[in-house]
Each structure stands twice: as structure tokens, then as C-alpha cells.
Structure 1
Amino acid sequence: MKSWLMLCILASWLFPVSVDHCFDPPSVNYSIVVATATEDRFLVTYSCIRGYHLEGKRELFCNKTSLEWDSPVPTCLLGHCPNPVLVNGQLNSSKLEPVSEKEVVSFKCDNDYILKGSNWSQCQQNHTWTPPLPICIPGQCEPPTKPDHGHFKTRDFKSGSNVSFHCDNGYQLIGSQSLQCMEGEWSDEPPICQAKREAPVETKEELCAFQERNNICESIQTLMQCQNENGKTLEELKYSLEIKKLQLEKIKAFMSTEIK
């Protein structure tokens, strides 16, 4: 059965003779074709008759530059809406083929899968399903990546479960400490364990550094006492004092220059 509705009467007046072959729209069984013409192109729109649905592009056009139709010809297939498909699931309907207008289909996923979307849908007058057809997604997440120098704890990897991460001694956690499995995907990227930076330790030499006070004698006495407690010989103490003396002289000379 072919049904045509041509709305391009005298269209040849609007196009040069070189594109006359575009005036014959590609034939599509069980369809209604509406054709319109403008100064630079010829457009056809396909609509399937009742009980059939369109597969492919609804509108095709030919312009005087290409002299060819811009897309492959669509087809009209049996069924008012496309047959519903649910991978890793099951659907219930009074009749699956062909699909009739206003027909309602319900959906259920197989074990270990979760339904994402509505659990029912209805075939509409415009040949579409509303709400949109759902999909079945895995009901659990893949095990997360175990961080180097660390580990994670969890009861299982099912949807809604949480996993916590911990680092070995001497390492600190960078990232989220806890992740949740949500519809087959983790809520965030797994963290990493990074080596801790140790705080600098003051050496005995630094602890015994010369600290100038108002009473210079007291400062020298304190320094000598500290050096002596750390096993320094008299010669080493003398050498340390000489170094401090030179440092003080340089500071004094610099300050004198600045004052001048």
C-alpha cells in the first residue's frame, strides 16, 4: 500500500531543470509523504500510516548544489511504536508484536541487575514510548583499586554499600576516605597513600647555638655549659667562640656602615 500527499504543485517553476530528478521522492511503503519546495531546496517529510513506525530520518532534502538526497531513505516497520527491548531484563505485555497505540508494557530486571528508569511505558500517538524505555544496570560495583601502601574495608560491593580506605604507617591518605557504590558506579575516584614528610629535627649543634643576650658574659657561659654537656673539648669550645666573635664583628661593621 502506498499513499502520497504532494503539496508541491508547479514545483518545477521554483527549481532549475537540472534538479528535476529530485522531484521524485524516494518511495517508502506504508507512508505518507509531504513535499515542499523553496528557491534552493526540495524537502520531503515521511509519516508512517497507523500501525507502523518510522525507522530512519523523517525529513530528506535535495538542494541545487548536491543534486542528491542528504540522507538514506527511511522505512516504515510494522508496529505503531518500535518493539521494546530490555537487555538483562524481562518485559510483560498483552502482545509484543506488533505494538499498538496506547499499549502499556512493564519491565523487570534479571537478578543482580537494577532497573534504571520507569518500570512501565506506553506507546504514544506520535510512535514513541512514554516514559522512555528503561535499562538494566549491574547491581554492584567492581572492586575499587587498592592503594599502594594501604588497604580498604567493606562488607560487599552491592549498590548502597560503602568502602573505607586506610594507609600504612608513615603514609597519609590523599582523596576521599569513604566511597559509596551507586547504581554500579563508585561515588568518587579511589584515594592514594602518600609518604608523610618528617618534620626537621634540631641537632645538638643547633640547640647549642650562641644566643646573644643583654649580658654577654651570661651568653658565653650558657654556650660553654651546653657545649660541655655535649662532650666538647676546650679547644672545640674556643673555636666555637672565635667563630661567634667573627660573626658579631661582621654584624657590627655592617651596622656602622648603615648608620653613616
Structure 2
Amino acid sequence: CPQPPNIANGLHSGQSLDKFPLGVTVYYGCKDGYELIGNVSINCTEDGLWSKPLPRCEATGCEIPEVQNGKVYGLQSTYKAGETLHFACNAGYAAEDTYEIQCQPGGTWDPPVLTCERVRPCPMPPGVRNGNHNGQGKAFFTVGTSVTYTCDPGYYLVGNAVVFCRASGNWSQP
């Protein structure tokens, strides 16, 4: 038989061989992030051709994840690499950073864990020497609330002028 056929995103056990006599078996495997579909091997037949059908390698899909204290907006049970999925948190809960995840090659999600944390109000934002913020006089701060810092005349601000109350009950970095 001639050299065994190559398959996209796969390898075969005959890569280093020169001759393929009658009856020899060649085994296929897939690169990381792909799974083998079909027969794992082909044989050299009496007529000098390889047995059919050839296997193929398909990208490993991501299964729909579970969201602690939330739900996923998706109709499929599996997703292909590069596809994005959106999720939401139950009332009283929020995600710390993002509400979307992306399927990665190999069947993993990025970010890998979806967690909706109980929303905690933020305390009064920290004060700054020679400056102030516009949150003075407020009783509490909910997730997403922003506070803007300003400096007294003759002083300039180092850091972010605006901070946000995060779901964890902490402020973003000033």
C-alpha cells in the first residue's frame, strides 16, 4: 500500500515507516483538543489500497456549564471552540467580572468557573488626604455604584478618579 492518508488535526502510527505490506494495520489519533470519530485503524487490503472509511478528528466541544446561583442562556448542549455563552445571576447575586464565557479548544471554558456571589453592599469608600469623593452622606452603596474622587486646589490625583462597588462588597482599585 502507499503511505497512509493523513487526516486533519490527526496523526497515524505509520509516520516513520517506508513500506506497508498487505494486512498491516495503521492506527490514528488526534491532536490535543480533538477527538477521533470513526474507526481507530485502517488496514492494507489485498488490492493494495487502504480500508475505508478514514477516521476524522473533530474539535472537542464544551458542555453547557452549571452556574452557581445563576443560569446560562444557551439552547445547545455543547459548544464549539470560539463560541461564546452568556449567563445571568439570580436576584441578589452578581458576577465579579464578566457575564460571558468562551469555549476553548480541548473542551474547557474561559473563565473556567462561573460563580454568582451574594451581593454585598460596599462600605463608605476610603477617604483621601487633600481630597474628597462624591459619596459623602450616602447610607449605603450597591453593586455597580460609582464614586468619583477630586482633589483640593493645588493637588493632583494619583490613581483612578472613579471607583466601583463590586459584588464582593469591595471597591475597585482607586
TM-score norm. by structure 1 comes to 0.28
The structure whose residues are more often helix, as a share, is: 1
TM-score norm. by structure 2 comes to 0.39
Task: Point out the structure with max Rg over C-alpha.
Answer: 1
Question: 1 or 2 for the larger relative contact order (CA 8 Å, sep ≥6)?
Answer: 2
